[in-house]
Amino acid sequence: MLVVRYPRAFPISEAKMKMLSILFAVLGIGLAPLAVAGVKNVVLVHGAFADGSGWRPVATILEHDGYTVYVVQEPLMSWDADLAATRSVLDRAGPCVLVGHSWAGMIITEVGDRPSVRSLVYVAAFEPDVGETAGGLQGKNPPAGGQSVVPAGGGFLYVNPEAFGSDFAGGVPKATAHFMAISQVPIAAASFDAKVTVAAWSKKPSFAVIPKQDRQINPDLERFMASRARSETLELSGSHPIFLLQPKGVAAVIEKAARTAM
């Protein structure tokens, strides 16, 4: 806070006081945006067939750079359950950048209209419009590895473990891809029929990271959705879990979203 004291022996004229008031007002206008620009909280939401631990490389970079990171652990049991899990974290995160991978693009689009969400980042993700479903979007432009998503029993879907390394985690070290395959979290098949009722990207700044070799969501579909939403887009070489293959690139996009958020 700037405090100005004037000696009593040198009274300030009314004209000079007016000039100082104008100067301070101008400075106030110039400094106000700096005071409110940017956020320091990031909420990461994982996609189907995975859990929040996959975000670790990105989270490590963000925390090193001074951001507070929250990772949502979606149950993937239903559309409503995933929405509730994300809203619960948003309730305590404060002003934030909301990031979704894959299936979580549906989730952040639906809940991202909350005032605390200042911008959205879609990482190899669905970026739906109102009334669209994940299943419908996939049907319009099927991914190369779509046939490897098979029933897991009980109304759930998962990626065939034998095809996981090639169709989900291409380029990931074999040992890591193997563990991801045997520890994957199946998703309720009914979730892919859930219709989005809010398109948060129509109200908030948005960014998109598109893996050029994605075999779970067709890169051309991702490009279409990002273009429609006017999302600032970065394309990176790599497969669906691009956050593991290119964590620095993904983190850089998230940090840009945070710095430019209002």
Would you say domain 38-142+191-259 falls under CATH 3.30.1050.10? no
Buried b (16+ CB within 10 A) or exposed e, 68-82: ebbbbebebbebeeb
Closest CA to 257 of 58, 37, 32, 90: 37
Torsion of CA 146, 220, 238, 109, to 10 degrees: -80
> From the centroid of its chain, how far is CA 106?
11
- Is residue 248 pLDDT above 50, yes or no? yes
Query: Domain-by-domain residue ranges, the chain?
Result: 38-142+191-259
pLDDT tens per residue, range 152-172: 999 999 999 999 999 999 999
Asked if residues 52 and 99 have their Cβ atoms less than 8 Å apart, the reply is no
What are the distances in angstroms from CA 158 to CA 7, 170, 205? 77, 16, 32
Mean pLDDT of the chain: 90
Give phi and psi for 92, each to the nearest 5: -115, 0
Q: What pTM does this model have?
A: 0.86
Q: What percent of the chain has pLDDT over 70?
A: 86
Mean pLDDT of 140-149: 95
d(CA 90, CA 106): 16
